[in-house]
A and B are shown apart, each in its own frame.
Chain A
Amino acid sequence: MAVQYLGLKEISGSLIALDHVKDVAYDEVAQIKLSDGTVRTGRVVEVDGERAVLQVFEGTNGLSLENTRTTFTGRPMEMALSEDILGRVFSGAGEPIDGLGDIYAEKYIDINGRPLNPVSRSYPRNYINTGISSVDALMTLIRGQKLPIFSGSGLPHNKLAVQIVRQAKIADETGSDFAVVFAAMGAKNDVADYFRRSFEESGVLSRVVMFLNLSDDPIIERILTPKCALTAAEYLAFEKNMHILVILTDMTSYGEALREFSSSKGEIPARKGYPGYLYSDLASLYERAGIVEGSEGSVTQIPILTMPNDDITHPMPDLTGYITEGQIVLDRSLAQKGIYPPVSVLPSLSRLMKDGIGEGYTRADHSDCANQLFAAYAKVQDARSLASVIGEDELSPLDKAYMHFGELFEKYFLGQGFDEDRTIDQTLDLGWTILSALPRNALDRVNDRLLDEKYDPEAARRLEETGVIDLG
């Protein structure tokens, strides 16, 4: 029988301290039994001689200095895993909450994970066809990549994530080894429900593992949620050879939970009150994506984060951008124009794209098409800002052509239906058609040979007149 420690020395926020404890290990998990019989879980965050500081996942409500019995388990936080987790719903701390009973564990794995050795990684090269033109053409998602969606409150990031999940699944050759790990951190109940319903409608619910920490759940549990989800993802990917898509929403709530926890511990804050280790903490999550050499599975991450006040320089999007392999940025003004998905093309990027596109992956002309679209759309912004000063009528013919191109691009290339699944051929052909709305010599990123083949102003005119995308 393990030693039980009666009572506490101190309670502060979600932290409790115990004195005169022996043989306590850093990061180990403890059970805290209240006098009313309920049990809470805690984790050791600091050991100082015989004093141990614990964070209590369920919060410290109702705890007093005398009504607890604490037992240390001698193990770090672990999760029970087996293939049966598919289709199940867990709390943020990895406990089943769907009433279907405990998981019969094949294996217990430390949720902190271990760093993946860079020499054991395979460089990700296989692209995932999401069927969304802006993503496929301009910020191609690669299997094993971590590509976040930077969004704002009120923007359709959840809808976009659902569309990616649904259509990426269809694109998978076999479909059988595909699964989704969904983690909600501080998400509203209806958001979690929206995802659940969408998974159900597209018939993938039995291949989804959900981790729900809703906005009224304890924040300490929120800190564990992505760790649990990624542990499950790694298990399924690297031990069960599945292709896993992980959706983490909303990382901003995670960051805020971390900040709250850090300040209750009395740590010195860095920027905006966030702890100095925010970068390494986020990295320990995001880096858990990739492909391990010799394993057939992969972990692809799509974290969603809402930028507070749409500010991309806020520490959360900023540090995320430094770790992840690109970002998909959503833009409010596009959304207001009624364009879905409102992907802001210029700040969006996929770092792994260059090695996963072109001949043998997508199509030989992909990178030329993408580069030219980026360059031309950057000119659109210049023309627009000039137009806002001197008026559209005063623009030079070339600038007017850019304005026109910008409209077509946003309306037909960015804009697409929630159920519209475009192939990569359709997407690239559409890109060339819209580029053909520009004078030929404005397409300076493309060589003449390719232009001879692709430049077709007639098609651009047809698109404009009929408003129908001719998808061949």
Chain B
Amino acid sequence: MNTVYSINGPVVKVRDTSDFSMLEMVYVGKDELIGEVIGVTAQETTIQVYEVTTGMQPGEPVRGTGAPVSAVLGPGIISNIFDGIERPLQDIAAIDGAFISAGIRVENLDGRRKWKVTLKVAEGDEVTGGQIYAVCPETSVIEHRCLIPPYMAGKVTFAAPDGEYTVNDHIITVADGNGEEHELTLCQKWAIKTPRPFARRLPIDRPLVTGQRVIDSVFPIAKGGTAAIPGGFGTGKTMTQHQLAKWCDADIIVYIGCGERGNEMTQVLEEFSGLIDPKTNRPLTDRTVLIANTSNMPVAACEASIYTGITIAEYYRDMGYHIAIMADSTSRWAEALREISGRLEEMPAEEGFPAYLPSRLAAFYERASYVETLCGTEGSVTVIGAVSPQGSDFSEPVTQNTKRFVRCFWALDKSLAYERHYPAINWNDSYSEYTDDLTGYYYDNVDKEFMPCRQRIAAMLSAENKLMEIVKLIGSDVLPDDQKLVIETARVIRVGFLQQNAYHKDDTYVPLEKQFRMMSTILKLYDEAAAAIAGGRVFSDIQATGIFDTVVKMKYDIPNDRPEMFHELQAKIEQAVRGE
């Protein structure tokens, strides 16, 4: 029997054994704490333990499981809240009370609950990996589709009749080419660090519509794409993630709270069960999975939570769903890597982070995908990761390395947050590489003028940025009228368009149609005013009509379902600017 030799925080070593393989899941100590093998040499095997090792002694047993650390995938995942290694927190609370002890053992998925299963294959059918063999309604909006494990193919030799089953009930038997029989239940295991296979990647050309103007209109993200939200504390990373989780048009949200505040997860739990998804009229929890590994929970499990989350997302992608992952925050994950690396006494690279930080980040973000699945449908995983740069310094290693692997960068800005300009996404530092990929979609589905409008809005903001350099030195009074107009229009864009009120019933989610009309109204105001100024009208006269403030307030004054009101507003603009 293998026994513990040394203990240093979450790192445990076993001497002189060759029984373990890399990334194998092991049970450590007499309490059977869950751990993962992270290093194997002839002399010693290194294990990181996902729970607190207080009280463990050398000589306690270490038992291998022969399999890598895996997630159990099956119905019952949606609407649930798990810790970093997919243990349901509600069940833990039921057994263990309010505080979590080490070594607690619960089933990953509720084994007593019965699901109303409809079979999709019959005895004698030939099946291949990824094919759907049974379905059951998991929540009111998600149909769970049980998939033949990816690398399995053969003939169905047994199929249970339609009916009510638990996750562990035997549903079908598949005899593979070698005549070996596999009994399939409603659930399966998948190693969390291995990406799930798919038929092929599809080009990325559809936006993830979030209803947030600064994102959808200015820095859009595509389904199957990646985005990072870096920002110092108090700049609204979590708030932005919450808004996206609430309103984006993905079928399923996987929300990973990795090393963040406990109260925030409680808030998500409470708030999401009270909110109704406008598309399905069902509570948001019916499409949400929460993975909560708060900052005071063991650090190694924090690292695992990211992988658990993305594995669950890929599983639902393979059923043909569009998933969005919110990872808050990837910096905590990187710090977990650093902590473990430090305990292993590895040679550090920058700021104590291990040299393999970039490759780990890349491996994670590359699991974002828009694919044709093995069962022939389309599905996607969009990854949105928050980054918490130390000292709000974007040059630190996690932000810099993340930047290399994401194509959308929403930089949160402290000074905007200080002004209470939310979302505090800085338009000068942020970028999206998806605008070209998505042009076609906006052209066909929103308006032909959408992208040109966006371009002009962006140009206006950057023109303002240049002018502000001058204003900072000499004040705005000395500028000529046309430049004053640029500054005033940019203000309208900033306050009336980019700033969005998450607590306002209409403004919290704005459809693309309205976003476009808002942009074109602002540009109409600019064009009219520019023409009037060229025709000799004084800028301050136009300003005195209050028309700029009227336009700023259109986000509140025009409800989302009354687009025709923009015509009235545009008529008002003409009147005011032309001085009629």
Chain A residues near B (Cβ < 8 Å): 23-28, 46-50, 76, 110, 112-124, 144-145, 238, 267-271, 275-277, 279-280, 283-284, 286-288, 290, 292-295, 313-315, 318-319, 321-323, 325-327, 346-347, 349, 351-352, 354-355, 367, 371, 374-375, 378, 385-386, 389-390, 394-396, 399, 441, 444-445, 447
Which listed residue (A116, A123, A354, A394) contacts B99, Cβ 8 A?
A116
The answer on a CB contact under 8 Å between B58 and A24 is: yes
For A28, the chain B residues whose CB sits under 8 A away are: 55
- Measured in the bound complex, the distance between the Cα atoms of B269 and A269 in whole Å is 37
CB distance from A179 to the nearest CB of B (A): 20
The answer on a CB contact under 8 Å between B390 and A119 is: no
- Measured in the bound complex, the distance between the Cα atoms of B335 and A275 in whole Å is 11
CB distance from A74 to the nearest CB of B (A): 9
- Measured in the bound complex, the distance between the Cα atoms of B130 and A124 in whole Å is 45
Q: Does B18 count as interface, using CB distance less than 8 angstroms?
A: no
For B342, the chain A residues whose CB sits under 8 A away are: 267-268, 270, 275-277
For A294, the chain B residues whose CB sits under 8 A away are: 98
For B151, the chain A residues whose CB sits under 8 A away are: none
The answer on a CB contact under 8 Å between B81 and A390 is: no
The answer on a CB contact under 8 Å between A321 and B234 is: yes
| Nearest-neighbor residue (CB-CB) of A390 within chain B | B475
Q: Does B228 count as interface, using CB distance less than 8 angstroms?
A: no
- Measured in the bound complex, the distance between the Cα atoms of B296 and A303 in whole Å is 17
- Measured in the bound complex, the distance between the Cα atoms of B266 and A122 in whole Å is 7
For A390, the chain B residues whose CB sits under 8 A away are: 473-475
- Measured in the bound complex, the distance between the Cα atoms of B92 and A277 in whole Å is 26
30 residue pairs of the A-B complex, CB under 8 angstroms, read A23-B57, A24-B58, A26-B7, A26-B54, A26-B57, A27-B55, A49-B5, A49-B58, A115-B294, A115-B298, A118-B81, A118-B294, A120-B98, A267-B342, A270-B342, A270-B353, A276-B338, A276-B352, A280-B336, A284-B296, A293-B98, A314-B391, A318-B233, A318-B392, A319-B390, A321-B233, A322-B233, A374-B418, A374-B419, A396-B476
| Nearest-neighbor residue (CB-CB) of A118 within chain B | B265
| Nearest-neighbor residue (CB-CB) of A234 within chain B | B99
Known: A48-B5, A276-B339, A277-B299. A325 touches B58 (CB 8 A): no
6 additional A-B pairs beyond A238-B98, A270-B353, A327-B233, beta carbons within 8 Å, are A118-B266, A271-B390, A283-B259, A321-B232, A321-B233, A322-B388
The answer on a CB contact under 8 Å between A352 and B263 is: yes
Q: Does B420 count as interface, using CB distance less than 8 angstroms?
A: yes
CB distance from B1 to the nearest CB of A (A): 16
Annotate B385-418 by CB proximity to A: 1 below 8 A, 0 otherwise: 0001011110000000000000000000010001
- Measured in the bound complex, the distance between the Cα atoms of B476 and A395 in whole Å is 9
Q: Does B267 count as interface, using CB distance less than 8 angstroms?
A: yes
- Measured in the bound complex, the distance between the Cα atoms of B388 and A394 in whole Å is 41
- Measured in the bound complex, the distance between the Cα atoms of B477 and A292 in whole Å is 57
- Measured in the bound complex, the distance between the Cα atoms of B232 and A140 in whole Å is 21
The answer on a CB contact under 8 Å between A279 and B263 is: no
The answer on a CB contact under 8 Å between A112 and B472 is: no
Q: Does B41 count as interface, using CB distance less than 8 angstroms?
A: no
CB distance from B498 to the nearest CB of A (A): 14
For A279, the chain B residues whose CB sits under 8 A away are: 259, 295, 332, 335
The answer on a CB contact under 8 Å between A444 and B552 is: yes
